[in-house]
Structure 1
Amino acid sequence: MIMVDCAIKDWSGEEVGSASLDLRVASEKSATHVVHRALIRQMANARQGTASTKTRAEVRGGGRKPWRQKGTGRARAGSNRSPLWRGGGVIFGPKPRDYSVKMNRKERRLALRTAIQSRIEDIIVVQDFADKFPRPKTKDLVGALKTWGIQAESKVLLILAEREETVYLSSRNVAKLRLISASNLNVFDLLAADRIVITLSAVTKIQEVYGD
């Protein structure tokens, strides 16, 4: 069990308190392995597995022998749908398959908590700001990110307790910004972001859901 404290910033970027996350994480020896397994699982499960090619048996045509077996001076050929021919079948090509990887729920949650703990230096906790957006305003959100000390070129993960429609509409045109709710946390997004912004209510929800 590891407890970490994070400073809380308000809308203007001033520190107004601190929030703590008390998470049970993997041991230092196994942390990398657990997080890596969870990441591979997530990426594999996202694959559709619908790629498909036709074998020589499935390609249309090729029923007649192109030319007689002997006497032409050319190599013998039994079908113009041989994999050696243009328009022929594919040898060992992809077929629809299931790429999904299994990982038990307890281990997935451990990997997620460990991933959060590993990014603690890049986490910024802010007060809830949905009330600052009576209507969508991308410019205001970009200004807030700058106020919180986030560089314009940084990839940002914004975590809210629940999806707020005006905040979502304000964020969808911001380059390199991804918005998710605390219930949709995943290892890939946590590791891919340069900076992670979490609202205070989202911190509370993360602690409630994953703090076992």
Structure 2
Amino acid sequence: MQLKSYKAGAVGQVEFDEAPFGGSVLYRTLKDAVVMYQANQRQGNASTRGRSEVKGSNAKPWKQKHTGRARAGDRKSPIWRGGGTVFGPKPRDFSYHMPVKARRVALRSAIAGKLRDEEVVIADLGQFSSPSSKVARKILTDLGNPRRAVVVLGEADQNVWKSFRNFAGVRVSTAQDLCAHDVVAGGLIIAEASAMDALIARVGKPEAASSSTDGGAA
């Protein structure tokens, strides 16, 4: 299939073999991976005070009978203003994990969906010899100023990260750290050829990855 390419300020086309990513999207597995990621991001530090934790006297405010008022045990009762909270949230850990194979399938499905929607650009980012927001802005402008984008690198590069970090909606990740949520929520995928090779080796279908000699990128 034909994908957009970017090199030295020029936007063109490049042949890419999508077979290692299967071409089909397993929506249920992909949704499970995204929900897992979101759950793992929750801090879980919400906390309320029960009746044993709020400030107040334990004394009975009035006698039980013959006052004409409702019975009351103490001023920390949940039905009183300033009283404790019933079944309120307490700090907890929301995180959980899917099997490694399921996460790989989810990432492969996410990339397949982006390839199908033509939201992947194979880019040569070798010009970042030092941090430069000007160069990063030019790349985004040449690619149509996407509202959201994920720059995927074959290897970690501080210069690239520092160049893109101030742009809203743009994040930088390595192929090794990329997850299904990053792909689904990331918008346009701007990936180095080496990053695509690494993704094929990481999550590509075994039979397709073994038959590919150059990672599919031309």
Please give the range of the TM-score, normalised by the shorter of the 2 chains: 0.7 to 0.9
CA distance in 2, matches of 1:24, 1:156: 20
In structure 1, which of residues 33, 53, 77 is the aligned counterpart of residue 28 of structure 2? 33
Q: CA deviation at 1:5?
A: 5.0
CA deviations 1:78-112 (Å, max 9, x no partner) are: 11001111221111111232322332111110111
CA distance in 1, matches of 2:13, 2:113: 24
Letter in 1 for 2:188: R
Letter in 1 for 2:5: I
Q: CA deviation at 1:26?
A: 8.5
Residue 88 (structure 1) aligns with: 83
Matched position secondary structure for 1:93: coil
Letter in 2 for 1:151: N
Checking the alignment, whether the CA contact within 8 Å between 1:159 and 1:182 is kept in structure 2 is yes
Structure 2: which 5+ residue stretches go unaligned?
A: 207-218
In the alignment, does 2:169 pair up with 1:180?
Answer: no
In structure 2, which of residues 122, 130, 134 is the aligned counterpart of residue 135 of structure 1? 130
Q: CA deviation at 1:19?
A: 3.5
Checking the alignment, whether the CA contact within 8 Å between 2:23 and 2:113 is kept in structure 1 is no
CA distance in 2, matches of 1:112, 1:35: 7
CA deviations 1:127-167 (Å, max 9, x no partner) are: 2x23x2232211211111111x2225x11111111221111
Q: 1:53 to 1:14 in 2, by over 3 A?
A: closer
Letter in 2 for 1:188: H
Further displaced range: 115-124 or 66-75 = 66-75
Matched position secondary structure for 2:74: coil
Q: 1:34 to 1:16 in 2, by over 3 A?
A: closer
In structure 2, which of residues 193, 202, 205 is the aligned counterpart of residue 209 of structure 1? 202
Residue 210 (structure 2) aligns with: none
Q: CA deviation at 1:186?
A: 1.1
Residue 43 (structure 1) aligns with: 38
CA distance in 2, matches of 1:26, 1:12: 30
Matched position secondary structure for 1:119: helix
CA distance in 1, matches of 2:97, 2:42: 14
Q: 1:198 to 1:26 in 2, by over 3 A?
A: closer
Structure 1: which 5+ residue stretches go unaligned?
A: none
Q: CA deviation at 1:189?
A: 1.4
